[in-house]
Structure 1
Amino acid sequence: MNHLAHALLAGDEPERMLGSLLGDFVRGAIDPALPALRREGIAQHRAIDRYTDAHPQVVAARGLFAPPFRRYAGIVLDVWFDHLLARDFAQWSDEPLSDFSGRVQGLLHAREAILPDGLRRFSRYLHAHDLPLRYRERAMIGQVLAGVGSRLSRANPLAAGLEAIAPIEPQLDAAFAAFFPDLVEFARRPERWRA
């Protein structure tokens, strides 16, 4: 899953949400000196990624991509699933997406001094592009995929990710509809992911 899903599934505790957003930017053992809720957020992020990668709907969805996209299907799905979540955000949250997006940006801005460099750059990117609010726009998803592709060390087709999605979009949407409720239930059970 991508940033919108991680932030939403972290719940309302700012420290846990911060940890969930840190999940892609910290490696190795979780620092025991971090606040407990931040550690939980990192642990939850990692558990969500493992759960997502192993879920039968996600495994099947990755298999729908033809080469050369199959190698990058996990990245494409993470970003596309955030698009679907943003598009139908009211189904998953009582908070309007615009308010939630502002809350995510505000949290990162308020904690900028303690963020690792990668997350600090990402925070500025979110603010500059009004994300995660604009994840609901298809064109923005294309831009996000192209941006991810440009940061990878080897040549890749991610800039054409929307073209790869188009012929299998109904199947991907159905996979998300079947998978995401399971993920929400998983995230609500901290005994399955708490550090």
Structure 2
Amino acid sequence: MNYLAHIRLAENTPESQLGNFLGDFVKGPLEDYQNCYSAEILKGIATHRQIDCFTDRHPLYLQSRRLLGDRYFRFSGIIIDIAYDHFLSKHWQLFAASQLDDFVNDFYDNLQANRSILPPKARAIAPKVVLENWLASYQTLAGVNRTLARISRRLKRANPLATASEELAEHYEALEAGFLQFFPEAIAYAEILQKSPFQQPSSESALELSINLQSLHRKK
């Protein structure tokens, strides 16, 4: 999952949304961060990790990855994450009560208000996220292409991300259909996580929220 999807899947509170955004920047046991963040932010980070596990194992997500050619397979997770943010933007009104621009701008205000507590890498990119309007840029394929090109430049090893938009265009309808099937399940799973009591992680818990991925399917 990429930034927009993670923030949408968070609880509708500034702290939960911030925590879900920070999941890509906070590494290691969450017990190490108990003095840095509130319990709600820590739960958001833990939720981000659980949603990533759910997504990475989900048959529909794996099917989307397999649609990409062999040249892109090694980087297909990155490509599909960005593509899913594009489809979420395109179909935002199916999955959210607010307007996309209002949602994004509220999060930017939240991010800037809490910049002092962000980890170094998140603090460094926060101004770019806002200034370049990253979260709204996924609405167009041109924005997707710019995002993939930016990631391509950041990676140390050679990669084909800068040309991946051509592959996305070729499989656009199939990828869109896969997303529209997948995202309601991601929302349902996130709601299970939100209703579960959060305890400060310990070494025994290994950062898990003790929720079996199969519980979602048993509820269907």
Which of 137, 140, 144 is residue 141 of structure 1 equivalent to?
144
Q: Of the two, which has the highest radius of gyration?
A: 2
> For the Cα contact (< 8 Å) 1:101–1:131, is it kept in 2?
no
Q: Normalized against structure 1, the TM-score is what?
A: 0.96
1: distance between equivalents of 2:137 and 2:90?
9
Output the aligned Cα RMSD. 1.4
1: distance between equivalents of 2:115 and 2:182?
33
Does 2:34 correspond to 1:32? yes
2: distance between equivalents of 1:135 and 1:61?
18
> For the Cα contact (< 8 Å) 1:40–1:194, is it kept in 2?
no
Does 2:71 correspond to 1:68? yes
1:56 counterpart letter in structure 2 = P
Which of 32, 37, 59 is residue 56 of structure 1 equivalent to?
59
- In the other structure, the counterpart of 1:159 is 162
Does 2:11 correspond to 1:11? yes
How many residue pairs get matched?
A: 195
The CA deviation at 1:113 is 1.1
Q: Normalized against structure 2, the TM-score is what?
A: 0.85
The CA deviation at 1:32 is 2.6
Gaps of 5+ in 2: 198-207, 211-220
> For the Cα contact (< 8 Å) 1:86–1:135, is it kept in 2?
yes
Does 2:56 correspond to 1:45? no
The CA deviation at 1:194 is 4.1
Which of 95, 100, 105 is residue 97 of structure 1 equivalent to?
100
Gaps of 5+ in 1: none
The DSSP-based 3-state class of the residue aligned with 1:108 is: helix
The CA deviation at 1:29 is 0.4
Among all aligned residue pairs of Structure 1 and Structure 2, give the percentage whose two residues are the same amino acid.
35
> For the Cα contact (< 8 Å) 1:2–1:82, is it kept in 2?
yes
